[in-house]
Amino acid sequence: MGFYDYLDSKQNRHRLERLFVRLAVAGFLLHLALILFNRMAPVLAAELVPGIGFNFLQAVYTPFSFILFYEVLLLVLALPQSFTTSICKQYEIISLIVVRRVFKDIGSFEDFDSWLTQTDAVRVVLLDMGGALLMFLTVTLIYRIRKTVSKTLALGELASFIRLKKMIAVLLGSVLVLFAAGNLLFWLASIFPISGGFAANAKDMDQFFFPAFFEFMIFTDVFLLIVSISYYDRYEYLFRNSGFVISTVLLRISLSSPKPYDLVIALISMLYGLGLISIFAFYTKISGGISGEDSGEDSGEDSGEVSGDSNEPSA
């Protein structure tokens, strides 16, 4: 699909990366300036920007929001590559959400000089730090194991399947932009006094954007799973891809779960994915998978990438 190839070209990817870096820096500096204003003129700031706190570390939350949106965009662009690449990007996004939350929680500390007395806040931060580290380790192991997967030839020509996935990626990208616009409105409402009820709801803006997007990912993965049977009907592929859908459902549940169950469910989802890719790699070896230079969906799925300048998966 021409529009997808245009968006996913190396040149435009580089432009997107620079754009989001600049947005992250600008958002960081603006948030710092607003916090400084709140410290210097608290009475006036309470009227103009009541949603701004006093802790400078809260400003780290803003650039991480832009980085997360960029990662979600990369997830959409990775959709035509493979199930494995897509689920790994989802794991990365969840782990980055937890890392961003650590900075948000640290910024909520009332006084760093007596932070040990704030047991509830410290416990939350330590839980998120430990959970994020375990998620990072799990994703690293998945990337390591997927390099050992043997290849299997597809049942037919993959070009039509890849074109379909590119069309879905463009559609999903459009939904992402709409969600991002709504999330931006929520964020602005949390900073500026638009209306009491709307501003109050804005505090839970993460409960709108990421859960809604992951729900779309669930239906997208199910649809691609069904279509992929026409190209890969082998048991190990069907089981692995079905398991990845289950993992995505667990990720969605984790986003709406209270602490510490959100971390537990997210880690279970990632460990389930790690188990799937590990057993899948073992199964393909004992069942005589085609290794080396033979191509198939998994030549791009488990060891390579789909180039933005090509309509075929690379070997």
Angle at 179 between CA 300 and CA 219, to 5 degrees: 50
pLDDT of 131 > 90? The answer is yes
How many degrees, rounded to 5, is the angle at CA 256 between CA 252 and CA 257?
A: 110
Split at pLDDT 50, 70, 90, the class of 129 is very high
| Separation of alpha carbons 133 and 90, rounded Å | 16
- Chain segment 62-114, per-residue pLDDT in tens: 888 888 888 888 888 888 888 888 899 999 999 998 988 888 777 666 656 66
CA–CA separation, 303 and 281 (whole Å): 12
Buried b (16+ CB within 10 A) or exposed e, 17-39: eeebeebbeebbeebeebbeebe
**Residue 307 within a domain:** no
257 in a domain, yes or no?
A: yes
Token digits for 247? 């993992």
Higher pLDDT, 305 or 178: 178
Decide if 310 is inside a domain. no
Report the C-alpha gap between 112 and 56 in whole angstroms. 12
- Give me the chain's average pLDDT, please: 78
> Against a cut of 0.95, is the pTM above it?
no
Upper half-sphere CA count for residue 2 (Cβ side, 13 Å):
0
Q: Is residue 309 part of a domain?
A: no
- pLDDT value of position 137: 96
pLDDT at 113: 63
Does 315 have pLDDT greater than 90?
no
* pLDDT mean over 31-53: 77
Mean local confidence (pLDDT), 202-208: 55
With cut-offs at 50, 70 and 90, classify the pLDDT of residue 292. Answer: very low
Alpha-carbon distance of 52 to 30, in angstroms, equals 11
Higher pLDDT, 201 or 116: 116
pLDDT band for position 312 (50/70/90)? very low
Residue of 242, 254, 174, 177 whose CA lies nearest to 214:
254
Burial of 175 (0-12, 13-18, 19+ CB in 10 A): middle
| Lowest model confidence (mean pLDDT) among 97-106, 117-126, 134-143, 297-306 | 297-306
- Give the span between the Cα atoms of 300 and 198, in whole angstroms: 45
Residue 313 lies in a domain: no
Neighbours of 41 (CB within 10 A): 12
What is the model's pLDDT at position 38? 82
Domain span at 122: 2-301
Q: How confident is the model at residue 156 (pLDDT cuts 50, 70, 90)?
A: low
Q: How far, in Å, CA of 125 to CA of 59, rounded?
A: 17
Omega of the bond leading into 80 within 30 degrees of 0 (cis): no
Q: For the residues 28-51, what does the mean pLDDT come to?
A: 79
Say how many domains are in the chain: 1
Burial class (CB in 10 A: 0-12, 13-18, 19+), 10: exposed
When pLDDT is averaged across residues 161-179 and rounded to a whole number, the result is 87
d(CA 285, CA 193): 61
> Distance between CA 114 and CA 126 in Å, rounded?
16
